[in-house]
Amino acid sequence: MPSTTAIRTRGRLRRGQSLSALRRREATLGYLFISPWVLGLLIFTIGPFIASLYLSFTTYSILQPGNWVGLRNYVTAFTDDRLFYKVLWNTAYYVLGSVPLRIVLAFALALLLNASVRGLTMWRTLFYVPSITPIVATIVLWRYLLHPKFGLINYALSLVGIKAIPWLTSPIWSKPALLVMSVWWVGGNMVIFLAGLQGIPQHLYEAAELDGANAWRRLRHVTLPMMTPTIYFNLVMNLINAFQVFTQSFIMTRGGPLDSTRFYMHYLYDNAFLYFKMGYASALAWVLFVIIFALTLLTVKTSGRWVFYGG
């Protein structure tokens, strides 16, 4: 007859084996359920990512397989391409202008729409809807608004005695015109800021009022510090998106006049699908990736100096 200890040991082993089999079954089912996403990531994201790195060292042109040329595409971009620095400057101009403009305006709108006023839901909807309007329809609308002769913006300026501005036909005014148009999409940032404002504990404002802080001091010493994580998030996302601006210039100006609105992604697109220089376009894509990665990393590294997490 087996002893009581032996029976208990065998019972534990069976329970352990059953638990192990159950865990293996759950793991198998888990891997099975996430496999479509993993395969999609490998095939449609990581695969093209690695392929573009290889193609950037070749003369691949879609129509021909291309030859290995090493760093020649990168050297050509920095030393022998007259448009490379032009489009880089155009893109930097747009980033430096649109990112602060959109963040400041979105934050100001969020402050206004966080107050208790009549018709608050309607106002929030009105300011958010433009950001979800199809971009092509929005651009067609702005082409009429910015028309040098019949545009509503020039008409409004004429009412205060300002002469018509050649928004889309002058190299001087073309980039500012696109900056003005960029405020159309502040609704998304506004909603994020609004969520951040509503997450600030009310007792902080009450304590500030007891200390005699006016509205400006409450904004400066309570609202802004508590909103720095949200500002940080919007800054990073807008920085990445602004470097990839494409549709506005492609539809509105085709990069003109005189290449003043030919942004980096537009130039990359032209090299890949207009001139069929896919190898060179891949090199341009990796240069842009390094620039965005470096600026994002710099923002992350410096965030510890100004981003405050209440917890």
pLDDT reported for residue 148? 83
pLDDT at 211 > cutoff 90: no
Kindly compute the dihedral angle of the four CA atoms of residues 301, 302, 304, 310, in this order, to the nearest 10 degrees: -120
CA 242 vs CA 150, 231, 264, 265, 268: distances in Å: 29, 16, 11, 10, 15
Q: Per-residue confidence at 230, pLDDT binned at 50, 70, 90?
A: very high
Alpha carbons 19 and 13: distance in angstroms, whole number: 10
Packed helices 187-198 and 120-128: angle between N→C axes, nearest 10 degrees: 140
Q: Which helix (H) or strand (E) holds 30?
A: helix 4-41
Show the tokens assigned to 251: 């539809």
Reduced to 3 states (helix: H, G, I; strand: E, B; else coil), residue 113 is helix
pLDDT at 10 > cutoff 60: no
pLDDT single digits (tens) 160-175: 988 889 998 899 999 9
Show the tokens assigned to 250: 């492609």
DSSP assignment string, 258-270? TTTT--HHHHHHI
Q: Per-residue confidence at 5, pLDDT binned at 50, 70, 90?
A: low
Reduced to 3 states (helix: H, G, I; strand: E, B; else coil), residue 68 is strand
Q: Which helix (H) or strand (E) holds 57?
A: none
pLDDT single digits (tens) 282-298: 999 999 999 999 999 99
Half-sphere exposure of 115 (CA within 13 A, CB side): 8
pLDDT reported for residue 27? 86
Alpha carbons 111 and 200: distance in angstroms, whole number: 12
pLDDT single digits (tens) 128-163: 999 898 998 999 899 889 988 888 999 998 889 888
Reduced to 3 states (helix: H, G, I; strand: E, B; else coil), residue 11 is helix
Give backbone dihedrals phi and psi of 163, rounded to 5 degrees, phi first.
-65, 160
pLDDT reported for residue 21? 80
Is the Cα torsion angle 14, 17, 19, 21 positive or negative in sign? negative
pLDDT reported for residue 9? 53
Question: Cβ distance 99 to 235 under 8 Å?
Answer: yes
Name 68's bridge partners: 58
Q: Per-residue confidence at 270, pLDDT binned at 50, 70, 90?
A: very high
Question: pTM to 2 decimals?
Answer: 0.87
pLDDT reported for residue 300? 93
Q: Report the Cα–Cα distance between both ends of the chain, in Å, rounded.
A: 62
pLDDT at 77 > cutoff 70: yes
pLDDT reported for residue 12? 55
Alpha carbons 269 and 278: distance in angstroms, whole number: 9
Alpha carbons 28 and 26: distance in angstroms, whole number: 5
Alpha carbons 164 and 231: distance in angstroms, whole number: 36
Name 58's bridge partners: 68
CA 181 vs CA 64, 98, 168: distances in Å: 40, 9, 12
Give backbone dihedrals phi and psi of 76, rounded to 5 degrees, phi first.
-60, -40
